[in-house]
């Protein structure tokens, strides 16, 4: 089964990705951890993934039509 997902980049991650969003078509059941190799192009591990408005963990299942937002992780002090 093919899944279509949209990945939107925010903040400086837009510059690293070279675009505001990607639309992917991937095969089979996937989890967030399966997207990590694709996100390596960001050359950064300081991001948070949000799927359909909720925080995602590595084992969160990715479903057809999901909207994924990649936010830069920020620190406070």
Q: List the beta bridge partners of residue 50.
A: 55, 69
CB contact at 8 A, 66 and 5: yes
Cα Rg, the chain, nearest whole Å? 12
pLDDT of residue 76: 63
pLDDT tens track, the chain, 77 positions: 788 999 999 999 999 899 999 998 988 888 998 888 888 877 777 789 999 999 999 899 999 999 999 998 876 66
Specify the CATH number for the domain of residue 38.
Answer: 3.10.20.30
Residue 77 lies in a domain: no
Helix (H, G, I), strand (E, B) or coil at 60: coil
- Host domain of residue 53: 2-72
pLDDT of residue 77: 60
Q: Specify the residue for token string 């359909």.
A: 52
pLDDT of residue 43: 74
């Amino acid at each position: 089964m093919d899944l279509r997902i949209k990945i939107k980049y925010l903040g400086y991650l837009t510059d690293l990705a070279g675009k505001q969003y990607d639309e992917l078509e991937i095969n089979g059941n996937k989890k967030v951890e399966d997207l990590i190799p694709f996100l390596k192009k960001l050359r950064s591990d300081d991001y948070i993934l949000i799927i359909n408005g909720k925080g995602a963990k590595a084992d969160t299942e990715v479903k057809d039509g999901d909207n994924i937002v990649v936010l830069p992780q920020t620190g406070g002090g």
